[in-house]
Amino acid sequence: MLLMISTTATPATDLGFLLHKHPERVQEFGQSFGTATVFYPEAGAERCTAALLLDVDPVALVRSRGKGSPDFSLSQYVNDRPYAASSLLAVALADVFRTARAGRCKARPELPGTPLPLELRLPALPCRGGPELAQRLFEPLGWAVDARPVPLDEGFPEWGESRYVGLTLRGTVRVADALNHLYVLLPVLDDAKHYWIAPDEVDKLVRAGEGWLAGHPDRTLITRRYLGRRRALERTALARLAELGDDLEERLDPPIDEDPTDPTTETDADPRARSTPETDGVHPRPASERDGAPDP
């Protein structure tokens, strides 16, 4: 799976300082499920592009999943995770671009706070909710969204569209904000995570969403999907976001009595539970960064 980050700022190679990755080097970062590689297809004064290529080891990925997963037996043979942008890419991005996400740059401390003209490209992104959901999630954050459905089979257009889109985002945004938008929203669009959703996911969400999530019109949907529909975690996250927003608290759903020890309670029993279009407010569609590298 691939993520391309481009800028036309002057000079464009300032992108290397912000990402803490030298444009003249190819760097690899080991992940538990494969290898993340950062390289620059182009690095000029007028335009610079950084690419994050994630090579997923399917065997390591399957071994990391519990046999209790509902689709464990099939996932060994039929799996889109090595190819489609998902929570795997979000985790790799968080690791490889950790300092960039925090908005720090010792060499050029003035850069992280400066919005830059950016273009983000994801050739294959699973999007449960279609292009419309991608627009709903990214446009309020200042992005111009180009989400194009990928056909199931180009040779058989009558088969319709797949659940994947080719996504391009354009906007004048701080690099740290752009990375945090992706970190949160990639698994939200996929509506799935490859790891167990623990209570510390609330802290991760609130940190990554600082400055934008509390005021997002679809914050409830984002929180629900990011936390795998675990209602107790969702309520905790929304309450913490309410402290950051002006009027969010008034819109919180009323508490629901739950017994955390009851395995039949909502989706706390199975954090991998899928959404339905009705609960997400998404209309159904046809089938159709580890630091340690020196600053450049």
The larger pLDDT score, comparing residue 175 to residue 258, is at 175
- The model's pLDDT over 49-83, given as tens digits with 9 standing for 90+, comes to 999 999 887 666 666 554 444 444 555 556 666 67
* Average pLDDT value for the chain: 79
3-class secondary structure per residue, 65-88? CCCCCCCHHHHCCCCCCCCCCCHH
Band of the pLDDT at 153, cuts 50, 70, 90? confident
Where do the structural domains in the chain lie, given as residue ranges?
A: 2-193, 198-271
The model's pTM is: 0.77
- The model's pLDDT over 169-215, given as tens digits with 9 standing for 90+, comes to 999 999 999 999 999 999 999 886 656 677 888 889 989 999 999 99
Q: Is 196 left (phi over 0), alpha (psi -120 to 50) or beta?
A: beta
- The arrangement of secondary structure in 2-193, i.e. its CATH architecture, is 2-Layer Sandwich (3.30)
- The model's pLDDT over 92-149, given as tens digits with 9 standing for 90+, comes to 999 999 999 999 999 999 999 999 999 999 999 989 888 999 999 999 999 999 999 9
